[in-house]
Each structure stands twice: as C-alpha cells, then as structure tokens.
Structure 1
Amino acid sequence: MSDPLRDRVVAAIGDRFEVGEELGRGGMSVVYRAREVRLRRTVALKVLPPELAFRSGVRERFLREAQTSAQLQHPHVVPVYAADETGGVAWLAMALVEGETLGQRMARVGRAGIDEARRLLAEVADALAYAHAHGVVHRDVKPDNILLDRESGRAVVTDFGIARAAEEELRLTVTGVAIGSPAYMSPEQAMGDAGVDGRTDQYALAVVGYQLLTGQLPFDAASATAMLIKHVGETPRPIAELRPEVPAALAQALERALAKKPADRWPDAATFRRVLLDPRAGEAMGVPAAASPAPATPPPPPAPPADAKSDRSHVVL
C-alpha cells in the first residue's frame, strides 16, 4: 500500500536519504529507517506529519529545538545529525540506536534489579544535567524516550524539544494547556505553567524510577485529566510499602524528587544523580530532607492531547 507521507518525504529529500521502512508513528511525528547517501550511515529520520508541518509556529519551533538539541554531545543523549525543512517537509536525522526502549524492557521483564535501576536512572540524570546546563529542558521524560543500547546496555535519552514544539503553538491560542505524557508529568507542568525548568525533568525521572523499582506507576487513573489531578494533589504510596528491599536512602532520594513543589526537590539533576549513586551524598552536601507536601485540591487541569500509539520499534515519537 502506498504511503502518501513517505512518498512526499522521498520526493523532498530522496537525493540525500534513502528512505526505508517506517519504524513508528504518533501524534507528533513519523519515523523512518533511512540511509544518509553521502556519509553512508543509517539514521532514524523523524518528520512532522503534514497537519503539523503546515503550521508555521510548530514547524519553526520544531526546527529550532532540533537545532539546539543537535548541539548536545553526550554519551547518554541520542545525537541529532541534522534538521531542516525541504520541499515542505520538516525533518531531523538522528542516530539509530539498535535496541529497545526502557518501556519495552519493563513490559517484557517487569521491574528492574535495584543495581540496574540505580545505574539507568543515574545515566539518564547525567544526560539531563548536561542538557540543562546547556539550556535545554526535555519536558517529556518517560520510558519510551529512554533507549537501551543492545550491545552495551547503556541508557540514552531521545526526543528533546518535540513536546515544546507543540506546546508553543498551542499556547498561542489556549491558556493552561498541558503538553507531555500524563503519567510522568510534574505538577507544575500539569497545571500548564509556562516557566518549567530542569526540575520538571527530575520529577518525571523520579516517576520512571518509582516504576522501575516497584513495577507500577505512582498513580493510577482512568483518564489523562484524573492522572494530572493526582500528580498535583496526591502523594504516592511509599516505595518501601511496595518493595521493602529497596534501600531506604534510595527510596528517599526518589521520593524527594517527587515533591509537589520544585523548590522541595533536589537542586538540580546533577545533585539527583549523585544521591542516586550514593544517597549519603545528600547529607554530605548539607541538603536537608524535604518535608512531605500536603495534598491539595486544585481545579482540574485541561486534558492533554491523546498519547501517541505504542511503537513497534525503539524509536520514540
């Protein structure tokens, strides 16, 4: 069956990339396996679907964020090689990581061993600390955006900037729009706060850590809106109740990062990484324990766009 979008991509950039099979698609992008002709390397080619690419705000933000992300050179960040608009197609080419997503891994084997969870979380925190130091906030940290290299097992983070591309356009016409994945969204992001910083990524990574160690999310809800309300106003069950063998200091490091107020979390992702690897580091740095936040009952935030469908590959949309 003919794929009109693929045909359009081939017509626009077929002289630069040999476009292969589709790896996955969702609300924000479509990804193809491709081969860069000149450099003879295999890449993941991510393109905006026409319904988004025709909006100048989304397209321009997509390209700006992709170009910014291309400046990130870190062992735990998926490299972005190039981004451009050609023939009406907004696209970016990035390294194709052979392996699976952390989401796929958890679906396949369940919760992780404590040492493995600690290592993976520290690797992602390291990537986030580096990105934040360069002025880039991910805004959509979740297991499907964490890739696990098949050979080395190392974690690499992908999809910087895609959520922000849609967020900027929607904010032009809608107040209080929440962009991201509801199950991993920080309270301030759920409330549509325009001023989120690296601590929102820290919260999302703590949700991933909670899930990695316990085998379940901090909150369960029947809808995206209900999930966001719980992130804003409810406190999750202590990790110790769900998995008593998790070291208390590790559980406390994650639970602090899940504080409702950004100021009550770890100061930055670099600090979070240090306490994940050595939870005693928090005390050594003189960082006092955060008080447990009191539950609140805020007005319901608006529902975010529906999540993208599950991909059959490790590429995140």
Structure 2
Amino acid sequence: MGTPGAAGRHRIDRLLGSGGFASVWLGHDAELDSPVAVKILADHWALREDVRERFVREARLLRQVDSHLLVQVFDIGELDDGRPYFVMTYADRGNLEERLAAEPPPLNEALRLAREITEGVRALHERGIVHRDLKPSNVLIRSVPGGGERIMLSDLGIARTEDHLSSLTLPAGSPGYMAPEQARIDGAPDRRSDVYGLGALTYHLLTGEPPGASRPGEPAAVPAPPSRARPEVPPSVDEAVLRALEADRDRRWPSAAAFGAALDRITSKVDTDPLAGARTPPRAREGRRPGRWLRSPGLGLKGHRLAGRLRVPILAGGAAVTVMVAAGGAFLLAGPPDGADGGTSAARVADPDGRLLRTDAGIPPRYRSLIIKAGSWCDLDGLSPALIAAMLAAESGFDPHLRDPAKDEYGIARWTPNVLVHWQPGGLDHPEPRPDQITPELSIPAMGRFLCYWGKDLKDLPGDPALNLAAMYRTSSRTVRKAGGVPEEYRAHAEKVRKYIETYKPAGPAGPA
C-alpha cells in the first residue's frame, strides 16, 4: 500500500508525521479551499478489527467533544485499499514539544499555556473522557486570523470513557508524564491521572524539563519545586503543581477543573498576556505573540537559535533559533500580520531627511525603508533603525547573497531557513524559504519581529540595551539574562555593533550632532 493520492474529496500533498499505528498527511479540501490534516491507519494494522475500531473510536470521541481546544474532526471514510482515515484540523504551527526543545517560555507564557491546556482537558472530562497520554507532542498549535495562535489537544488513541475505566487496563502512557498508576496493570486510571499529566506538562513549561518518570513497581520520585530551576516561579505555583504531581492520587487535585481553578486564582495577579506592555497593533494583541516563543516557532527563537543559537527550536540565524517552534513552534512564531507594522507609517519609513537613519553613512539606499520599518517595529528600549543597520553590517556587511552552509545561515541577516519561516512576513502561512529565497525583504522585517518579541525578556538588564539585543540575536535571551548583559564571548561582536551604531545614528535631535 503506497502513498495515497486522495482521501475522499481531500487531495493528499505530503507526509506530516507517522507513528506505530497511523500516519498524518497534509491534505487540501478543494471545495472549501482549506488545508486539512488526514490521519490514516497504517497498512500493517488495517486488517486488525480491534485496532480499526480503536482508530475510528478516536475520531468519534474528538467529534463528540467538538471543542476548539481539541483537534476537530470533519470527515471519516476509507481509502480505496480499505484503510480507514479521518480528516481533522491542520496544526500549521507544529506542537509544544518542538517549542520546548530549546528552552521554556517566559513565565507568563508558561502559565497561560498551562491554563489553556487545562481547559482542553476539562472539556474532555465534561464528556466523561480521560485522555491518559498528555504530553507536549500531543499539544498542537494552530494559527488564527489576526496573527495569533491557539493550542489543540490531540491523539485520543488510548483515551477511555469513564464507563470503561473500571475494566482491565494495561500500562499505557508516556514516561515523564504518566501517573504512577498508569504504569501498573489494572491501575484503573481516572481523571486524576490526567491531573498528573497536566502537572507534568506545567512543570515542563516552567522548568524546561518534565518532572521525571517512575519505573513500574517503583515509587514515584518527588520532583523538586519548579522554583528550584526558575526562581521567579511564585511559591503558590510550586504548591499547585506539586499537588498535581502527588504519587497518591487521592492527594492530587480531583479534576482538571479543580487544577485550572487553582491556577486561575494563583495567577490572577501574574501577567499572563504575552504582549502586555508592548506597543503592538490591535490585531496583534488579539493573538498570542508577535512571534512564537517557539519557540519555538518555535519556538527563543533566534538566539533561541536552533541549538546553537537556539533560534529556538525556533530562532534564527545570525539570529538563528529554531522553535518553535515551534517554534514556534516551536514555540510558535509568525509576527504581526502584514500591514500591522508596529505603528510605523509609510511617511516615517521614507525618512527623506535622515532624522531616523543617516543618509550619508554607507547604508545601501535600497534597504533603508526595510531597516527603518524593522527598527521601528515596537517601542523597545534599545531598538532603533541604527541598531538594525549596525547588526546587518556586523552580520553580513549588507551582503544579500551571504551563504554559510556550515552554520546553515543565509542572506543579509544570517537567518537559518527553518527559523526564518516563523518570523518572515506572513509567518507559517508561507512555506519555509530555500536559501536562495532568503531575500532582504524577508530577512530584515523578521529582525524587528524577533527583537520585539524576545527583547522584552531583557528589560532592566544592566548595560547598553541595544548591545544586549544584538547579543541576544547571536545567542538567546536566556543566555543574555544569565550573563547579566552581553556574555563575554559576544563582547567583541557587540563592540563591532556599537561602532556601527555610532556611525549610523542620525545627527541632530534624533542622534549626536
């Protein structure tokens, strides 16, 4: 049985991923002109009636819950070769696992995500369904109109309805996230098993690591409070998360609703709006972020350069992250929608008098408007057109054709393709660019989006805010925070940027005479 060409009326375009029982494909609904995800049972399981029934049951459960916080099922059927399939929401921004691959999100983002995931589990519980396999890869991320994102729970392959929980159960779940009773034969998992999974997910969001797995027959290890790894975590959050992770389920929160209510009370005074305090366009405020944390995309996304820079699993090249994302991913990453440029007007971008950026300092004229737009993307201490120009000069010498395959960095701003896809205009609504497609028109605006998102993490750090941003672009916000400013290994680069800033600053009221 080969690659399917279609599933019903849905064209099959490419494979998104596969597991032991099924594969997921990117499809296209021609009638509605919309991308979809098509889940198809693996051919070697197609003749097993019990597996087929479980596969179809998953689709039915998702359809019954019918919540925007879960993957939604639109259609079901069989291919010509007899394999069952169902059509569901396409998560165009990956999953939480990708967003968390580089580093945990900011505290307010971690708490907001935990509350959203908990709401999704509450929707399952209200329908009498216990998920039993809560983990980052089963938390999907989808873009929404206006430049935002939303999470969706997925994979009810081992879920049980409460009327079947009393029947024999075998060990099932994912190490690091499964409750101790799920590791035992006939452990009779119930809603409190999902509470443990929620606690483990929240712990991972806060610390960057799951709390640890217990082996069958061994008592669960007591995890350290999240604040041990992240001192800014309030004691009340420690208490709520550790209660969710109690080995004795009678001591846990009794349900997702109870855990969610506790998070609501505890975090009511914690800023859980990732855009709070930033001057962002109204349409951007309605979404999650100007970029993913993803994260990942993603996705910190650039310095947050992919593993080296972590561009998060989402960050970017010279800003190389990865994310996201995801990452955003990632964590997990598109910036404000096209046209929502942080308040920069067309007249201001033109800057014919050089009040924002010098006109006689060697900056290529064809890049001026892009540089001014990126440097005016938001109100952020240290961000300016002069900084963007200085970073471009330091990163590439304004070379739009730069190629550095060894570092997987290309173009005038040294982006890595799978990081740039999250920060480019339009974000993940557009395909990942090939190296030869990484133009200044993509690269330079993405710098503004990236810096505006991650730069908030550097607030109140000592030193020159502009140089802290330049160092963050090379490494990550977390690294810069940890160093208390520009890390030692990036000081030579920061000094280079500083000299260029002095060269490109406008004279007069906007700069030195």
TM-score (norm 1): 0.75
Is 1:95 paired with 2:89? yes
Is contact 1:33–1:42 with CA below 8 Å preserved after alignment? yes
Deviations 1:152-181 (A, max 9, x none): 23322112x21349xxxxxx9xx8732221
Query: What residue identity is the alignment partner of 1:103?
Result: E
- Report the CA distance shift for 1:190/1:97 in structure 2 as closer, same or farther (over 3 A): same
Query: What residue identity is the alignment partner of 1:93?
Result: V
Shift of 1:233: 2.9
Query: What residue identity is the alignment partner of 1:155?
Result: I
- Equivalent-residue separation in structure 2 for 1:49 and 1:243 (angstroms): 42
Is contact 1:97–1:149 with CA below 8 Å preserved after alignment? yes
Is 1:184 paired with 2:171? no
Is contact 1:138–1:201 with CA below 8 Å preserved after alignment? yes
Is contact 2:207–2:226 with CA below 8 Å preserved after alignment? yes
Match for residue 279 of structure 1 among 237, 257, 266: 266
- Equivalent-residue separation in structure 2 for 1:194 and 1:85 (angstroms): 35
Is 1:154 paired with 2:138? no
Match for residue 65 of structure 1 among 40, 58, 61: 58
- Equivalent-residue separation in structure 1 for 2:110 and 2:84 (angstroms): 36
- Report the CA distance shift for 1:214/1:15 in structure 2 as closer, same or farther (over 3 A): closer
Q: For residue 79 of structure 1, what is the aligned residue in structure 2?
A: 72
Query: What residue identity is the alignment partner of 1:162?
Result: G
Is 1:143 paired with 2:109? no
- Equivalent-residue separation in structure 2 for 1:231 and 1:183 (angstroms): 14
Shift of 1:95: 0.7
Q: For residue 289 of structure 1, what is the aligned residue in structure 2?
A: none
Residue segments in structure 1 that go unaligned for 5+ positions in a row:
166-171, 221-226, 282-311
Identity, % of aligned positions = 33
- Equivalent-residue separation in structure 2 for 1:117 and 1:16 (angstroms): 39
Q: For residue 105 of structure 1, what is the aligned residue in structure 2?
A: 99
Query: RMSD in angstroms over aligned alpha carbons?
Result: 2.7
Q: For residue 198 of structure 1, what is the aligned residue in structure 2?
A: 191
Q: For residue 122 of structure 1, what is the aligned residue in structure 2?
A: 115
Shift of 1:15: 4.4
Match for residue 163 of structure 1 among 148, 158, 162: 158
Is contact 2:175–2:212 with CA below 8 Å preserved after alignment? no
Match for residue 212 of structure 1 among 195, 199, 205: 205
Query: What residue identity is the alignment partner of 2:199?
Result: A
Q: For residue 307 of structure 1, what is the aligned residue in structure 2?
A: none
Is contact 1:5–1:49 with CA below 8 Å preserved after alignment? no
Secondary structure in 2 aligned to 1:46?
strand
Is contact 1:111–1:212 with CA below 8 Å preserved after alignment? yes
Larger radius of gyration: 2
Shift of 1:241: 2.1
**How many residues end up aligned between the 2 structures?**
262
- Equivalent-residue separation in structure 2 for 1:158 and 1:81 (angstroms): 14
The answer to which structure, 1 or 2, has the higher relative contact order (CA under 8 A, 6+ apart) is 1
Is contact 1:31–1:45 with CA below 8 Å preserved after alignment? yes
Matches within 5 A, 1:250-269: 250-269=237-256
Shift of 1:58: 0.9
Shift of 1:148: 2.5
Matches within 5 A, 1:301-316: none
Secondary structure in 1 aligned to 2:266?
coil
TM-score (norm 2): 0.47
Query: What residue identity is the alignment partner of 1:261?
Result: D
- Report the CA distance shift for 1:57/1:164 in structure 2 as closer, same or farther (over 3 A): farther
